[in-house]
Structure 1
Amino acid sequence: MKFKLNHMEKNWILYDVGNSAFTLLVSTIMPIYFNYLASQAGISEVNYLAYWGYATSAATIIVALLGPVIGTASDTKGRRKKLFLIALLVGSIGCVFLGFSQSWIWFLLLFVIAKSAYSLSLVVYDSMLPDITSEDRADEVSAQGYAWGYIGSCIPFLLSLVLVLFYEKIGISMKTAMGIAFLLVALWWLMLSIPLMKNYQQTHYQTSNTKNNLKASFQRLGGIFSELKRNKKILFFLIAFFFYIDGVYTIIDMATAYGTALGLDSTGLLLALLVTQIVAFPAALTFGKLAGKVNPSRLITVCISAYFLIALYGIILKEQYQFWLLAIAVGIFQGAIQSLSRSYFVKIIPANKSGEYFGIYDICGKGAAFAGTMVVSMISQVTGSVNLGVGALSIMFLIGIFFFRKADKTPLA
């Protein structure tokens, strides 16, 4: 029987299409523009990669600190939509200002703000899933969110790519082209958020008996950590997720910076990453359908194993065609591991505490990616080899698969 999305599921998926444009901008055009600003300031390629990694780490540390508090606060009746809107506006406005920055230092500062807000919006967005769909539909809806996000984000990306690659023929400067590209992405992000903002209703929530909502949020957050001690299945999964998704997000965030530091052609890198998005669309949909026939745990294990091999492949990557092969491999497994992890987590947590738990989930996800970027940055600087920096991520996938197997064998408390 053909899977058919309902109205609210479509609205929820549209936000994935909107915010994915920012993700694609961060992993493709944004590092190239930063490289342009940094090279004008006389910064070497190895240090350029390191500074980009440190900025990414700073953003994820902020999310690690604020994510659980925002997530917990969003579980209070009537708060989820408001918090989502604040994060959305800060992120999209920050994106606009990024395009008009002419200093590499200011660019990194604005990047940290915009990326932090983007990630915090996803804490709230992910926690909406139990309100949007039923548990038996979660795998498919989550997969379709990532799939349509990948293919839909190609529209503003292609328009931005034309501006960035052909700005001289169009008769504008590179800085003007970048400013328009960043503005285009911000508008795309905002416009596709409107249906969700207009129609979303919070059906799973907790009531607060105190006027001090911040204090109540911290109290509930403390309760979640106590629950994790009792529920080993969730705890083991979060530890596993911390390591394997850290590696995944590091590869996503630093792919273009990695290729640029290797001296690969910028146009080729951007087109290769466009191929990643195109490949990820059918791959995510396929894995979503497979989850209804094959144990999702087995599919997650396959994805982690594939990423382990991808990280090892990064050690020998030197040529443009090798980067293309890497881009295709990442495209096959990127959407699958993200969507299956999200829906797996939804199934093992209480629906009325989804915000609290997804706050922790994002510590172990986007909020924890500082570890991977720091590893790549430090090893690249110490050894002088960006290949070894990327190859070191394979250790994270090994640890991730070990704890995921433990989680899968442990019953819910």
Structure 2
Amino acid sequence: MNGFGNKLSNLEKYWILYDVGNSAFILLVSTIIPINFKNIAQTNGIIPSDSTAYWSYAISLSTIIVAILGPVLGTLADTKGYRKTLFAIFMIFGVLGCAALSLPLSWILFLSIFVFAKIGVSGSFIFYDAMLSDITIDERMDHISSLGYAWGYIGSCIPFIISLLLILFADKLSLTTSFATSIAFLLNAVWWLFMSMPLIKNYKQIYYVEVKENPLKNSFRRLYDVLRDIKKQKKIFIFLLAFFFYIDGVYTIIEMATSYGKDVGIDDANLLFALLLTQIVAFPFAILFGKLSKKFKSQNLISTCILGYLAIALFALQLDKPWEFWLLA
């Protein structure tokens, strides 16, 4: 791959395409899915504050499960022949979960399937991120990663806008809102699956650990060795601890924004269009941050973003008007 300049290789394009695919579901998680859940919960007599709590419990449960599985899956990702297979399995779990949300479900079953789908997409990221070292060279990783984010943001707008139009104009299309929402879930599941196929078909693992014993047993042994050695690498331990709190804060804001906005009285249309705006704004800025990473230290850029999130969280404490939600978006 050396020497191809700024031109993307086919494998790099396929890797970026998966971000375009899964980002459709990620966008649903912060928009249509929580709104749909809260509407289902309300029809079952659950008050808004309780439904928000149940939604947060579901997100926390999926996060805890992935956190427990993550280290083992991470070591399996390095084992010869496992990276692509496990990536495909978790991707399929996520796609099937997204599609299953289209069924008429009770609120508890809806949440259960959502947790299943969330584990699927989060688990696939473990192997997807590990693929990057096989996809490109070290010098291009920041660039390719930022392109994945950028095209993921803008690409996810295509199925989302179609879904949004279906739901908002359901009456004019002679559809019920619930049926239009079901179509939206199926549409996004198909989009996710379709965008994943080029990577699954063409990816080959280059860097791996060859294991002769049982791979699962070996992954636990290697994980134990890493945890034992981490005591001697305080910087790595502090980094992992810091990243845990950092990324959990980021995802909490993303995944709870719509539910919180609905609780303070902002209507569904304003919530959905404001979060569509975030995808459009994120496209150029993801590319910009990728370029800035060549000129500035990554920790300085991350610190800037953390300060931004801090300002967002503090401002949101008094949020109760649609224009305020748009401003934060």
Which bin holds the TM-score, normalised by the shorter protein?
over 0.9
The letter for the 2-side match of 1:58 is: L
Distance 1:27 1:224 in 2: 35
Distance 1:229 1:29 in 2: 43
Matched, 1:241 2:243: yes
Matched, 1:114 2:98: no
Question: 6, 10, 14: which one pairs with 1:3?
Answer: 6
Distance 2:104 2:142 in 1: 40
* 1:209 Cα deviation after fit: 2.1
TM-score under structure 1 length normalisation = 0.77
* 1:285 Cα deviation after fit: 0.3
* 1:227 Cα deviation after fit: 2.9
Q: Percent identity?
A: 55
Matched, 1:186 2:167: no
Matched, 1:291 2:288: no
> 3-state DSSP class of the match of 2:116?
helix
Match of 2:200 in 1: 197
* 1:316 Cα deviation after fit: 1.6
- Return 94-103 or 50-59, whichever deviates more: 94-103
* 1:75 Cα deviation after fit: 1.0
* 1:303 Cα deviation after fit: 1.0
The letter for the 1-side match of 2:156 is: S
Distance 1:73 1:232 in 2: 24
* 1:234 Cα deviation after fit: 2.0
* 1:223 Cα deviation after fit: 1.5
Match of 2:313 in 1: 311
Distance 2:299 2:307 in 1: 12
Distance 2:148 2:162 in 1: 22
Distance 1:275 1:282 in 2: 12
* 1:163 Cα deviation after fit: 1.1
- Whether the 8 Å contact between 1:98 and 1:107 is mirrored in structure 2 is yes
Q: In the TM superposition, what are the counterparts of 1:150-169 in structure 2 within 5 Å?
A: 150-169=153-172
- Return 276-285 or 126-135, whichever deviates more: 126-135
Match of 1:263 in 2: 265
Match of 1:335 in 2: none
* 1:2 Cα deviation after fit: 7.8
Match of 2:220 in 1: 218
Match of 1:175 in 2: 178
> 3-state DSSP class of the match of 2:172?
helix
Query: Alpha-carbon deviations, 1:26-84, whole Å to 9, x = none?
Result: 11000111011101000111111101000111111111111221221121101111101
Matched, 1:26 2:29: yes
* 1:233 Cα deviation after fit: 2.4
Matched, 1:74 2:77: yes
Matched, 1:273 2:275: yes
> 3-state DSSP class of the match of 1:168?
coil
> 3-state DSSP class of the match of 1:217?
helix
The letter for the 2-side match of 1:314 is: A
Distance 2:320 2:12 in 1: 42
Distance 1:75 1:259 in 2: 41
> 3-state DSSP class of the match of 2:171?
helix
- Whether the 8 Å contact between 1:63 and 1:116 is mirrored in structure 2 is yes
Gaps of 5+ in 1: 328-413
The letter for the 1-side match of 2:147 is: Q
Question: 52, 56, 60: which one pairs with 2:59?
Answer: 56
The letter for the 2-side match of 1:229 is: K
- Whether the 8 Å contact between 1:100 and 1:175 is mirrored in structure 2 is no
TM-score under structure 2 length normalisation = 0.97
Match of 1:331 in 2: none
Distance 2:142 2:162 in 1: 32
Aligned-pair RMSD on alpha carbons? 1.3
Distance 1:159 1:226 in 2: 50
The letter for the 2-side match of 1:25 is: L
Distance 1:146 1:101 in 2: 33
Matched, 1:95 2:102: no
Distance 2:312 2:129 in 1: 27
Q: In the TM superposition, what are the counterparts of 1:336-351 in structure 2 within 5 Å?
A: none
Gaps of 5+ in 2: none
The letter for the 2-side match of 1:3 is: N
Match of 1:149 in 2: 152
> 3-state DSSP class of the match of 2:80?
coil
Match of 1:227 in 2: 229
The letter for the 2-side match of 1:172 is: L
Matched, 1:253 2:246: no
The letter for the 1-side match of 2:321 is: E
* 1:217 Cα deviation after fit: 1.1
* 1:228 Cα deviation after fit: 2.1
